[in-house]
Amino acid sequence: MERSKLLLEINGILSTYCGDCLVKSTLRKEYNKTYAHQFCIQKCTVGEQLKELGKQLAYSHKR
């Protein structure tokens, strides 16, 4: 996928699902920002999708 399309897709996902995420905000309040971030990266399905798109973005940058 093209780099610009990947960036648009990532931005769309972030604004749609992550901006007002209740799980993230609750974890930040109950624990801390780092804990919430790790949850998003390791356990959230949206975070997993973002991680995969990030890998594609890194790969497209190397070419």
14-58 per-position pLDDT tens digit: 999 999 999 999 999 999 999 999 999 999 999 999 999 999 999
Domain total of the chain: 1
Radius of gyration of the chain (CA): 13
Domain range for 56: 3-62
What are 2's two structure tokens?
Answer: 């093209």
What are 3's two structure tokens?
Answer: 């780099």
How far is residue 3's CA from residue 63's CA, in Å, rounded to a whole number? 11
pLDDT of residue 25: 96
pTM here is 0.80
Contact 58, 11 (CB under 8 A): no
